[in-house]
Amino acid sequence: MLVNFTTPNMRIPFDNSYSKLPDHFYERADPAQVPAPTLITVNNSLATELGIEPEWLRSDAGLAVISGNTVAEGSEPLAQAYAGHQFGGFSPQLGDGRAILLGEVIHANGERKDIQLKGSGRTPFSRGGDGKSALGPVIREYLMCEAMFALGVPTTRALAAVTTGEKVIREERIDGGIFTRVASSHLRVGTFQYFATRNDTEAIKTLVDFALNRHFPHAETSLSPALTLLEEVISAQAQLIAHWMSIGFIHGVMNTDNFAISGETIDYGPCAFMDDFHPNCVFSAIDRDARYSWGNQGSIAHWNLTRFAETLLPLLDPEPDTAMKLAEAALNSYSKQFINLYHLHYKSKLSLTEDAPIEFIQGTLSLLADQQVDYTLFFRRLTQLANKDTEASKLVELFIDAEACLKWIDEWITLLDDDLITTMQQVNPITIPRNHQVEAAIQQAYKGDFTLFHRLHEAWKHPFTENPEHEDLELAPLPEERVTQTFCGT
Ligand code: AMP
Ligand code: MG
């Protein structure tokens, strides 16, 4: 890997571009001082890939930067402006209220990455909030995003986590933390909405060029940049959401301000992985109408992309009718792409022949829901069964009704493509971040003990590999261990 420490004094090789955009795209904002920062962890491999020496990041000087106590050389801290639809209701002004972009660096693979502190104090966008983060959401985001990365899902990453030595006031006084997030960018649908609602077409044009250059450089020379961007974002999101659903992931807060233009999973607030399968499964305590349930994610993405297309209309064509038709055609292609990808995921999860009927997939999922089957264990044991590593009884025991399972196996065998069996191992994870495990690590962290955090983080680095040391983590929670609610990371 080529890592180039070109500027010896600059410990983080910043190369900022967002700060060069017009002034009304952001507000300058320095991180707040914290009394007693302590390192929880640094992501050594990611740091190295970003041209940052992990040893330095772990040192007092590095800790001062990731706790917000020092502004590193080359950093131009700022809070980005954005709007957003939250649970369907539009807020024309949100913005980074508890996050500060330190700047950008170039990854070893040539891609530009944002480095952002989350929970580093108030910004001009904080409204009534304190701009801080409790420790729990820091632990959750670290574990979840790194597990998602290991599962092969496009995602923002974790560079570091610290405790601040300061209490934050939520329902009670609890320990505060700061999370260092790395993202391909923090452009969201809400960024475009911020300018669209102000009729600032010039700004949208600037964003389109910025986003194409940064995320879809192969399409930069397009004769119709806005349409190309719309089509690229649609494809990236169709892939992302189908992938989420295939592994049982529920984002939980798919507001348009949490919907990234890059196609990365962003904003790990109340997210969780399902245990027992149910399409209406919801974890988030504030999602009372199940708007962001597992099974709604495909159509919510379409809704969000429609909001995105609306911001681009003036740039799609000067003639409103034509612009509308172009947007509609692109959005229709989302539905086709999404359904196609969704089926492809299940075809490989179930190792189905090319001509297996699509209805079999739907029937399988309905059966899992009726029988309250653990989603991850079902596909794990099916993979073992297909590989003759286990008896059918291990699958049957996941069902309420043994007969229903045996009948399903009989049908499945007739549709099985033997050539795909090895693929099953690459798509059906053995360990996923189960919600009760994440919650246990959070509770331990509040007691000052990070042992479980480190253990889980290590275990979830290799989700498709058998490891006898992590066998206990494969198990579904006992009824009394289940944690069925999550809360937003405020
Ligand atoms: P989120 O739920 O993380 O997507 O955040 C939604 C909006 O609320 C964003 O504009 C955040 O910056 C803002 N926000 C969330 N928590 C806080 C906080 N503790 N202080 C200030 N702003 C916040
Ligand atoms: Mg957000």
Q: Assess whether 172 and 197 both reside in one domain.
A: no
Shortest-distance ligand to the CA of residue 183: 2
CB under 5 Å of ion ligand 2: residues: 258, 267
* SS3 assignment for the chain: CCCCCCCCCCCCCCCCCHHHCCHHHEEECCCCCCCCCEEEEECHHHHHHCCCCHHHHHCHHHHHHHCCCCCCCCCCCEEECCCEEECCEEECCCCCCCEEEEEEEECCCCCEEEEEEECECCCCCCCCCCCEEEHHHHHHHHHHHHHHHHCCCCECEEEEEEEEEEEEECCCEEEEEEEEEEECCCCEHHHHHHHHCCCCHHHHHHHHHHHHHHHCHHHCCCCCHHHHHHHHHHHHHHHHHHHHHHCCEECCCCCHHHCECCCCECCCCCCEECCECCCCCCCECCCCCCCCCHHHHHHHHHHHHHHHHHHHHHHHCCCHHHHHHHHHHHHHHHHHHHHHHHHHHHHHHHCECCCCCHHHHHHHHHHHHHCCCEHHHHHHHHHHHHCCCCCHHHHHCCCCCHHHHHHHHHHHHHHECHHHHHHHHHHCCCCCCEHHHHHHHHHHHHCCCCHHHHHHHHHCCCCCCCCHHHHHHHCCCCHHHCCCCECCCC
Which residues make beta-bridge pairs with 168? 174
Same domain membership, residue 293 and residue 238: yes
pLDDT of residue 5: 46
Report pLDDT for 482: 95
Boundary-marking domain end, from 407, 428, 449: 428
Q: Which atom of ligand 1 is nearest to the CA of 257?
A: 4
Strand partners, 38: 163
- pLDDT for the residue numbered 7: 56
pLDDT band at residue 2, thresholds of 50, 70 and 90?
very low
Mean pLDDT value across residues 366-385: 98
Give pLDDT tens digits for 29-86: 999 999 999 999 999 999 999 999 999 999 999 999 999 999 999 999 999 999 999 9
Per mean pLDDT, which range of 33-37, 140-144, 418-422, 436-440 is the poorest? 418-422
* Number of domains composing the chain: 2
The answer, yes or no, to whether residue 443 has pLDDT greater than 80, is: yes
167 and 229 together in one domain: no
* Domain shared by 32 and 68, yes or no: yes
Query: Does the residue 45 lie in any domain?
Result: yes
pLDDT in tens, 291-320: 999 999 999 999 999 999 999 999 999 999
Does one domain contain both 141 and 219? Answer: no
Residue 489 lies in a domain: no
Confidence of residue 408 (pLDDT cuts 50, 70, 90): very high
- 450: in domain: no
Confidence of residue 220 (pLDDT cuts 50, 70, 90): confident
Choice among 12-16, 121-125, 342-346, 386-390 with the minimum mean pLDDT: 386-390
Query: Of the residues 126, 169, 253, which should be mutated to test ligand 1's pocket, given the most ligand atoms within 8 Å of the CB?
Result: 126
User: In this predicted structure, what is the pLDDT of residue 101?
Assistant: 99
Print the domain residue range for 385.
Answer: 187-428
* Nearest bound ligand to the CA of residue 95: 1
Q: What is the pLDDT of residues 455-478, one digit of tens each?
A: 999 999 999 999 999 999 999 999
Report the nearest atom of ligand 1 relative to the CA of 130: 20
Distance CA 388, CA 13 (A): 51
Q: Are 180 and 66 in contact (CB under 8 A)?
A: yes
- Is residue 463 assigned to a domain? no
Tell me the per-residue pLDDT of 239-249, one tens digit each, with 9 for 90 and over: 999 999 999 99
223 and 156 fall within a common domain: no
The pLDDT mean for the chain works out to 96
* Top mutation candidate among 26, 86, 98 for ligand 1, by most atoms within 8 Å of CB: 98
Q: What value does the mean pLDDT take over residues 264-275?
A: 97
- The pLDDT-based confidence of 8 (bands split at 50, 70, 90) is low
Ligand 1 centroid, distance to 490 Cα (angstroms): 6
Q: What pLDDT is stored for residue 489 in this prediction? A: 63
Within 6 A (CB) of ligand 1 lie: 94-98, 126, 129-132, 253, 257-258, 267, 269, 488-490
pLDDT interval class at 488 (50, 70, 90): confident
Q: Are residues 387 and 371 in the same domain?
A: yes
Shared domain for 195 and 116, answered yes or no, is: no
Please check whether residue 102 lies inside any domain of the structure: yes
Residue 155 belongs to a domain: yes
Residue 355 known to be catalytic: no
Say how many Å lie between the CA of residue 267 and the centre of ligand 1: 10
Ligand 2 centroid–CA 352 distance in Å is: 38
Q: Indicate whether 174 and 288 sit together in one domain.
A: no
pLDDT of residue 10: 87
For residues 209 and 355, membership in a common domain is answered with yes
Q: Which of 96, 175, 257, 374 is catalytic?
A: 257
CA of 123 to the centre of ligand 2 (A): 14
Last residue of a domain, one of 185, 202, 220: 185
Atom number in ligand 1 closest to CA 94: 10
Claim to verify: residue 164 and residue 179 sit in the same structural domain: yes
For residue 312, being part of any structural domain is answered with yes
The DSSP bridge partners found for residue 486 are 284
Residue at a domain's end among 136, 152, 185: 185
Residues of the chain above pLDDT 90, percent? 96
- Is residue 448 pLDDT above 90, yes or no? yes
Domain assignment of residue 460, yes or no: no
Both 250 and 329 in a single domain? Answer: yes
Contact 66, 160 (CB under 8 A): yes
Per-residue pLDDT tens digits for 134-180: 999 999 999 999 999 999 999 999 999 999 999 999 999 999 999 99
pTM of the model: 0.97
